[in-house]
């Protein structure tokens, strides 16, 4: 029997965007370079503190009222665990021998008990247009899949989950007249109609790939691999 395979939602996302990267990361511990998203982390933390205030008093956050969402931040003994990057919410499959998990940013609860899964994002753009972003960029589609994987995890843990999930976007305004050591944000709450029907199969596909000897080909339009190929072609020592 194979050892239980521990994987996160980002492993499955890597499998979907480039299976080779997924193998490099999980089997060989080789990751593409990335920059730390310090602004994102700061926004996540501030946001967490604010929602925790409304969680404590079990009242809707003012944004819920503005957007007509009949819910309150979900109060549960495991909320800290679900938000922790080292643990998150997890599901273990005995049949396929994997342990899959992901860390959510927040969970809200509707009047009928359904849970709404939320992820917080920070950006800085002149004209924020989610529909255009979603149609144009793969990363926006990955954000939706991220929420769907979290929804699946909550369902597998026995919770009733709403079909809709939200991205809470903070857009830093960069054209203010004066800085005054203050970065102002406009807030966009984006409702996404989600489906978890694909999730389980893709987790199993990822597990099967990682347990096989297959080393997939690089994706043709990846800027990292193309950079390396060009660099090797030049053969500079």
User: What is the binding site for ligand SF4 (CB under 6 A)?
Assistant: 18, 20-21, 24, 32, 218-219, 222, 224-225
Question: Where does the chain have alpha helices with state H?
Answer: 9-17, 19-28, 38-57, 62-66, 79-83, 130-136, 138-156, 199-211, 223-234
The residue among 32 and 60 lying less far from ligand SF4, judged by its C-beta, is 32
Q: How do beta strands 164-172 and 115-123 pair?
A: parallel
The residue among 20 and 121 lying less far from ligand SF4, judged by its C-beta, is 20
* Residue 94 C-beta: closest distance to ligand SF4, Å: 31
The residue among 196 and 206 lying less far from ligand SF4, judged by its C-beta, is 206
User: Which secondary structure element, helix H or strand E, spans residue 106, and what is its range?
Assistant: strand 106-110
β partners of residue 8? 101
The residue among 97 and 219 lying less far from ligand SF4, judged by its C-beta, is 219
* Residue 22 C-beta: closest distance to ligand SF4, Å: 8
Compute how many other C-beta atoms are within 10 angstroms of the C-beta atom of residue 152.
Answer: 25
The residue among 142 and 225 lying less far from ligand SF4, judged by its C-beta, is 225
Which 3 state secondary structure label does DSSP give 172? strand
Q: Which residue is nearest to ligand SF4 (CB)?
A: 222
* Residue 227 C-beta: closest distance to ligand SF4, Å: 9
Question: In this structure, are residues 48 and 109 in contact, taking their beta carbons and an 8 Å threshold?
Answer: no
Question: In this structure, are residues 121 and 170 in contact, taking their beta carbons and an 8 Å threshold?
Answer: yes
* Residue 209 C-beta: closest distance to ligand SF4, Å: 13
* Residue 21 C-beta: closest distance to ligand SF4, Å: 3
């Amino acid at each position: 029997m194979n050892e239980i395979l521990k994987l996160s939602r980002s492993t499955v996302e890597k499998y979907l965007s480039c299976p080779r990267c997924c193998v490099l990361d999980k089997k060989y511990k080789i990751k593409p370079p990335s920059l730390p998203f310090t602004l994102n982390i700061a926004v996540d933390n501030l946001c967490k503190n604010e929602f925790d205030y409304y969680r404590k008093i079990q009242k809707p956050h003012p944004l819920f009222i503005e957007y007509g969402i009949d819910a309150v931040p979900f109060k549960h003994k495991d909320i800290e665990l679900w938000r922790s990057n080292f643990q998150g919410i997890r599901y273990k499959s005995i049949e396929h021998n994997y342990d899959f998990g992901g860390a959510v940013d927040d969970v809200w609860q509707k009047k009928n008990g359904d849970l709404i899964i939320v992820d917080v994002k920070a950006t800085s753009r002149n004209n924020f247009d989610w529909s255009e972003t979603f149609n144009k960029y793969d990363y926006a589609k990955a954000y939706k899949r991220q929420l769907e994987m979290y929804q699946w995890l909550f369902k597998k843990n026995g919770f009733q989950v709403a079909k809709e999930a939200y991205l809470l976007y903070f857009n830093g305004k960069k054209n203010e007249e004066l800085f005054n050591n203050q970065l102002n944000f406009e807030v966009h709450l984006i409702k996404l109609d989600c489906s978890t029907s694909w999730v389980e199969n893709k987790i199993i596909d990822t597990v099967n790939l990682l347990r096989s000897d297959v080393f997939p080909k690089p994706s043709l339009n990846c800027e990292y691999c193309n950079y390396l190929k060009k660099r090797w072609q030049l053969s500079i020592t």
